[in-house]
Amino acid sequence: MTTLITGASSGLGAEMARQLAAHGEDLALCARRTDRLEELRAEILAAHPARRVAIAALDVTDHEAVTSVTQALRAELGGLDRYVVNAGLGKGAAIGTGRADANRETAVTNFLGALAQCEAAMEVFRDQGHGHLVMVSSMSAMRGMPKSMTTYAATKAGVAHLAEGIRTELHGTPLAKKIKVTVLYPGYIASEMNEKVQQSTPLMASTEKGVKAMVAAIEKQVDSACVPALPWAPMSVVMKHAPLPVLKKLI
């Protein structure tokens, strides 16, 4: 199994790379910070010398680069079995408070960047006749979020629907058994992106524990999963259906 992970230089992406390598997978790792990718590759190869780890610089907002880098890594590794759409930003501000720049940057990276990655991944999968597309969404996608989370949550809802739309298209066709689509909804998992969140919250999982749940769902090729399942699977029902006054107290 060969897995491509974007946003692999830190946080959830880097830990996914470590855990998937430990499970015997070869890796294609992409991010803007190649120095960190070099360090991660050295770490993985030191622990698992038999693994193959290819790296490439990639800014997912450069749509042409997403396609060319994906194809180059496919050629280098002899194919891509799985593509994890993970790269993203957590910037943002309340709408109309003078930080449209931060909201736009998050929207472009998280949604248009994910769209470019899906295009590149599905082009490969359609050509080779198999593959597994993994979309990293967020529990914030369950409901519109306030303040600095508004744009971020909207992008994460958008990318979840993007992946689900691809799955819907494939359903009932011969490719449905060959190309799988998984949407992950991570809750609070410690990472660089959410380091400003109160780390003392009882809902915050360690990076290792949280990613272990993500990897388990990926390897089962489930359609979707809230990760870790507890407390986030039951919490998803509350977030979707709670009256607004209740929701605001929860978030």
Tens of pLDDT, residues 19-40: 999 999 999 999 999 999 999 9
Rounded distance, CA 246 to CA 109, Å? 31
pTM: 0.95
| Catalytic site includes residue 152 | yes
Residues 6+ apart with CB under 8 A from 100: none
pLDDT band for 192, please (50, 70, 90 cuts): low
pLDDT band for 198, please (50, 70, 90 cuts): very low
Look up the CATH number of the domain holding residue 67. 3.40.50.720
* Average pLDDT, integer, range 213-218: 98
The range of the structural domain enclosing residue 110 comes to 2-250
Residue 197 has pLDDT above 90, yes or no: no
For the record, the structure tokens of 205 come out as 């999982």
Catalytic residue among 83, 152, 185, 188: 152
Structural domain tally of the chain? 1
Rounded distance, CA 90 to CA 152, Å? 6
Rounded distance, CA 63 to CA 68, Å? 9
